Amino acid sequence: AATTAYEAENATIVQGTVANNHTGFTGTGFVDYTNVTGSYVEFHVSVAAAGSSSLTFRYANGTTVNRPMDIAVNGTVVAAGTAFPATTNWDTWATKAVNAQLTAGSNTIRATATTANGGPNLDDLTVSGATDSQPPTT
């Protein structure tokens, strides 16, 4: 199935800002999570049929400390405390994939920081089976 990349800077951002002060991002920037518990980015993703999709988050974490996040689909946490470990510096990006069941049609996928450090810098989310020919900007 197709995959679609959803830029974090085009998603719904609560307690975070769009930034471009580090290199290597895709699109026009990335989301710099506010350094608080509960900061989040929420994507709207459509798939044709219900089933398991791979959700791949591209991120940077220039600290030496994990920046875990809860991954929620349609309001239910499906991967609690998912680790986003250090990536050497803020210009170095890595991916973290989780599998989740999506429902046919529109889904929300939210990545919420679970520590006071906030989330990592988030570049995009790639979803297998997504049917959006152009990622929606919501």
Tell me which of 32, 93, 110, 135 binds ligand GCU, using CB under 6 A: 32
Does 114 contact ligand GCU by CB under 6 A? no
Mapping DSSP to helix (H, G, I), strand (E, B) and coil, where does residue 9 land? helix
80-99 positions binding ligand GCU, by CB under 6 A: 90
Which C-beta is closer to ligand GCU: that of 35 or that of 87? 35
35 binding ligand GCU? (CB under 6 A): yes
Residue pair 124/6 in contact (Cβ under 8 Å)? The answer is: yes
CA contacts within 13 A on the Cβ side of 4: 16
Residue 45 or 60: the one with the smaller Cβ distance to ligand GCU is 60
The C-alpha atoms of residue 25 and residue 79 are separated, in whole angstroms, by: 25
Q: Is 39 in the site for ligand GCU (CB under 6 A)?
A: no
Which residues between 2 and 31 bind ligand GCU (CB under 6 A)?
19, 22
How do strand 76-82 and strand 69-73 relate by DSSP bridges?
A: antiparallel
Give the Cα separation of 138 and 136 in Å (integer): 6
| Position closest to ligand GCU via CB | 32
The pair of three-digit structure tokens given for residue 26, joined into one six-digit string: 């895709």
Tell me which residues touch ligand GCU (CB under 6 A): 19, 22, 32, 35, 90, 118, 121
